Structure 1
Amino acid sequence: MRAIGDLASYMLASRLQTDLRNQADSAAESATTGLAADKARHLGGATLAITLLERKSSLLVQHQRGISEAAVLAGASQATLERIQEQSVDLANDLAIVPQLQNSSQIQALSLDASRVFVDTVNALNSSIAGRYLFSGSATQTKPLPDGAVFLDMIRTDLAGASSAADVLAGVDAWFDALSGSFDAVYQGSTDGFMTLPLSSETTAVFALRADGETPRGVLRALAKTALAESAGLSLPEQSQILEAGRADLLQGDQWLTEERASLGLTEARIADAASATEADITRIELDRLSLIGVDQFEAAAEFEAAQQQLDVFYRIAARQSRTSLAEYLR
């Protein structure tokens, strides 16, 4: 059992060891970060200003995450619209030769190509990223449309009784009509809201294109007309009439897609501006923090070395005392 004096010495030594370690750790942190480890002590207890700065910095970091997510979604949406536009324009260019076609096999080839583009376009409108569907409006967890091949089969089934080019064209127009058509029953996304993401306390990014919007609906209507040309069992002139009508709609859809992509480009610019402003605010806050709790890193490194040296001396003395006590005990 330790004597009272030995116990007091032991407790004092333990406390000294702890103090030296804390000094070394604090000095090491300050030397590494350039900031005071003990903020309250460094500021003499006046911590309100640094607390407010750190709270604002935390909020800005949250905004940064929202901005990064918005940038990813905007970029993915732009890439999707670009792909849809490129395919529809390529098809429209191919359809320019329809008046010169002389046999049904050529008509069938163009119509089958339109079917492929229709399926790809629908599947593109069903794109999702980071768990959010891009074109479902505010219902970001819901896929807006059926799979492309299923969707096209629905239209073919509903228009199976069409017996003329006029019937096919009118039937497709009615199917996609925004007031009474079957398209609205197929679309499963939000019908009264858009996907929005906060960029700052005052700014929000709005992704104002849904799969049920006028532009996607118009492009799909044009593609559906072209895809149904070969399956209607019509004469060559009537099939050509359907293809030409589909091409005219595709050219109109190209203008709409250009406008939608320009609008999305403005959203991307707004996101980029928000990112720059947030980065500038974070930099300014870091400078303000540095002015309040910044320390001389060389001085902190010197303090660390001094604390380490004191710890080394302490450990050497403790080791000698331990050996001495053991020798006394063995007597």
Structure 2
Amino acid sequence: MNGSDPAAPGSPPPVLSFRHLLTEAVGSFLDEARMTCPQTADSICELIITLSRYREEGAPLFPMAFVCDDLGQMLAQLGGHDPIAIGIGPRSRATVQRALKQCASLGQGRWWALYLLRVPEGFAYGVFRTDPFPLAETPLERLRRADEGSTGVVGVLQLADNILELRACGGLCRHVYLSGARVESASPPEVLDELAEAVTDGVATTSRERARGFFRRVLFEVMQGSHGTLVAVLPRERAGSMLFVDGIILPRPLDVVALLDRYHADPTDAAATAVRATAQLLRGMMATDGITVLRADGCIVGYNIFVRHPETLTSQPSMLVGGARRRTFEVLCQALGTELTAALIRSQDGDVSCRRA
């Protein structure tokens, strides 16, 4: 039609919407999860779309949300405690919006999660307490490993801008990409698993899974921030690299695995505080400019690190998509297999990538 508007002059232009496709896909997902309900499908579709870039007062929020049929059973399954009822409403988009408005800001820092309980009147909603300890599984992690015999729970979590995970029991999962998010890229959980594996590759087998979970959870919280991040992983027993020209190298690498092992052997309040403090320290390091340097034996080596860019990169920046952070990432990637074992970038627009030797 040569770009012409087929509508009559003065009439509203045609509207293109993919919402019905998403609602149909969610409906099929609920059928597989044995939670069939058209109103629930439409409500979860609203939950997905709203959470895709959720903001309150301009600040991004990343609440975990769960739809369930039995609150007590769900709490036992997800490790939740102390539910607080907030409101009730029909099984509709409006109730989902109201529940998020009233509860989303309570669900930050992994302390509380939102629930929507299906009742005859519609949805009874509120929050329940979770365990934010870095060695404790998150409710969504527990749902990921729930067997097929468990039913009646669906979880929704924003993984990155416009990328969400829709999860039920028995390994049933969909990653939902909205607003042009690139489906050819690895999902954020896959990228973080790669980095967590690289950071713990040299850790003793008895401690490796514990250390891997710690790094995975801390890194995921960092990825939800608005700040770009670069991470370089050294081979074990290395204290630095010729790549680094400026920044802060710790006088003695911080042995995270030793702290985790100490807590595992004797879970005192002091040992738990050391684990929490180390998690917060790593979050703070990764929020600074420059590169955070980790090591394949689970040690933190340095932060706020900068590298010298080869002339080929500085003189031909147009060959790379992105700015200084992306060019630095390419420098790190060129050193894989020699100076480094892995490198990660989280750009300010939310894209994440990890490369390993």
Under a length normalisation based on structure 1, what TM-score does the superposition of the two structures give? 0.22
Under a length normalisation based on structure 2, what TM-score does the superposition of the two structures give? 0.20
The structure with the larger Rg is 1
Structure with greater contact order relative to length (CA < 8 Å, sep ≥ 6): 1
